[in-house]
A = this chain, B = another copy of it.
Amino acid sequence: MDTIDGTDSMTIGEAAERSGNAASALRYYEQQGLIHASRSSGGQRRFERDVLRRLAFIGAAQRVGLELGEIRAALEQLPDSRTPTRRDWAKLSTAWRPRLDEEIAYLTRLRNQLTECIGCGCLSLKTCALYNPDDEAAERGEGPRFLLDDRSKRAN
């Protein structure tokens, strides 16, 4: 992996295996501007070590529920003049907390309503909060929408 001039770059296959992503995913991420690759004389991609950290960040962000576009936007916040520090990375993920909090709160409300509904046996179209989600908080416009998807990205 060490080339003759001492730089330590990876082929796409290596980067894929080390990061746990498919090579096709890395090509896609590059195309989407999430990661960068230089090229060999023959035109093949060469990744630097730091791509692994970016990929780890991308994976974590996806697990939190961000879309790639949002992740790209987040990555653009990183300083390009210097190598990002731990604090730079940590700062980015700070923004995730409110999202997680909100998501947890939403699911908890849903669960509590469900418990009530089962307890009372209602599930009435007119009165049940579970079946009428807009009762409490309608009107918010579209607002930011994000996904919590893809079980395969999750810890368990």
Choose among B86, B100, B114, B133 the residue that contacts A123 (Cβ–Cβ < 8 A).
Answer: B86
Choose among B60, B93, B121, B151 the residue that contacts A145 (Cβ–Cβ < 8 A).
Answer: B151
**Inter-subunit contact A104/B101 (CB<8 Å):** no
Q: When A108-B104, A125-B52 are in contact, do A114 and B97 touch as well, CB less than 8 Å?
A: yes
Number of interface residues of A (CB under 8 A): 58
Residues from chain B with a CB closer than 8 A to the CB of A106 are: 154-156
Q: Can you tell how many copies of this chain the complex includes?
A: 2
Choose among B56, B86, B131 the residue that contacts A56 (Cβ–Cβ < 8 A).
Answer: B131
CA distance A145 to B93 in the complex (A): 25
**Inter-subunit contact A149/B149 (CB<8 Å):** yes
**Inter-subunit contact A155/B143 (CB<8 Å):** no
Contacts A/B (CB < 8 Å), 26 sampled: A57-B131, A59-B131, A60-B131, A63-B133, A64-B114, A86-B124, A90-B123, A93-B114, A93-B117, A93-B130, A94-B118, A100-B111, A100-B114, A103-B107, A103-B148, A104-B107, A104-B108, A106-B155, A133-B153, A133-B155, A136-B155, A137-B155, A137-B156, A145-B151, A147-B148, A149-B149
